A = this chain, B = another copy of it.
Amino acid sequence: MSSIWGKNVKISIFGESHGKAIGVVIDGLPPGIELNLEDISREMQRRMPGRSKISTPRKEGDKTEILSGFFNGKTTGTPLSSIIFNTDQRSRDYKSTKSIPRPGHADYTGHIRYSGFNDYRGGGHFSGRLTAPLVFAGAIAKQILSKNNIQVGSHIKKIGSIEDVPFNPVNIEPSLLKELKDKDFCVIDDVIGEKMKEHILGIKEERDSVGGVIEGAVINLPEGIGSPFFNSAESKLSQILFSIPGIKGVEFGAGFDITEMKGSEANDELYIEGYKIRSYSNNNGGILGGITNGMPIIFRVAIKPTPSIGKSQRTVDISKDINTRIETEGRHDPCIVPRAIPVIEAACAIALLDLIMEKDGLL
């Protein structure tokens, strides 16, 4: 049971990289929500490959078709589904995947998991392409959050070891998040961004790839969202974030750095401003005991280098039980991080929408 998520808003994604279509069913959306389709399309564009030199030239016709749940420009409250037909597939690129697993990919584990029956072409259901329906669902979630004044945003915090300036954890302006959304390359400091791009191009030359860190933020989220233990805000967010292919780490607030602080440094001391309770610092990333405290939610995800590289690598041929080598030809991103931005935001928005709709405290 892999591809359904959520409690109050459930998403069910389906499809394979080289199958007929991919898509998503979103069950449990509130009715009567006006959707801005252009904005959704813009989010899809942010994820789309083929838009620059640092991205794969592969074209994915991410033309989304809404099939249900949307009527007279508004959500109906019944399942909203959409599909994207696959078009620019070149299956010949991927033939060998079946018996010669690419290192760093799910070829081998998928083969074992599905007893060899999974669609191996282009990664099949494991493909990063499956994040397109996630972005679609996330774009809707974002719009609903936004109507409640909640903003989700993110930036490329790191490419290799080049670091952007971090979010100010106690004060993130909506205008900054908007600015980031409109950028082609989402960094706070564009000079650093240029260095990152150069670095990516250099790595591309080497037929290699590079990873990075994305820092996400959510502002204006009300206090009291989430629960202790298994449905803590961190639990829900991390579950969906780790669903995204290539994510190997998730941290909130000061994250792993908090372990080097003393309690007196780590604890976020409180004060009253007007009638609002705020904290001087935000090492807990806006979440205490699994519940939001009204400060910005801050999190970071570690994204591994694209496993598809042109360099020769050692692998095995599972049909012949021998060691062999592989060079992954094809059109690949030297760095997936820039295109992962809208995916991370989408996952975050979906998780938050689900959490906000948890109204067990109110009849």
Contact = CB atoms under 8 A, between A and B. Distances in A.
13 contacts: A1-B7, A3-B25, A4-B10, A15-B67, A16-B71, A71-B117, A161-B260, A210-B263, A211-B261, A232-B243, A249-B251, A251-B256, A259-B302
A62 to B, nearest CB: 15
A67 to B, nearest CB: 4
A57 interface: no
A64 to B, nearest CB: 12
Given A23-B67, A230-B240, A277-B318, 5 more contacts: A2-B290, A23-B81, A230-B243, A249-B251, A264-B313
A238 interface: yes
Contact of A267 (B12, B206, B309, B359): B309
A228 B77 CA distance: 11
Contacts of A272: 316, 321-323
A21 to B, nearest CB: 4
A28 B360 contact: yes
A292 B109 contact: yes
Contacts of A318: 277
Interface string A79-100: 1110100000000000000000
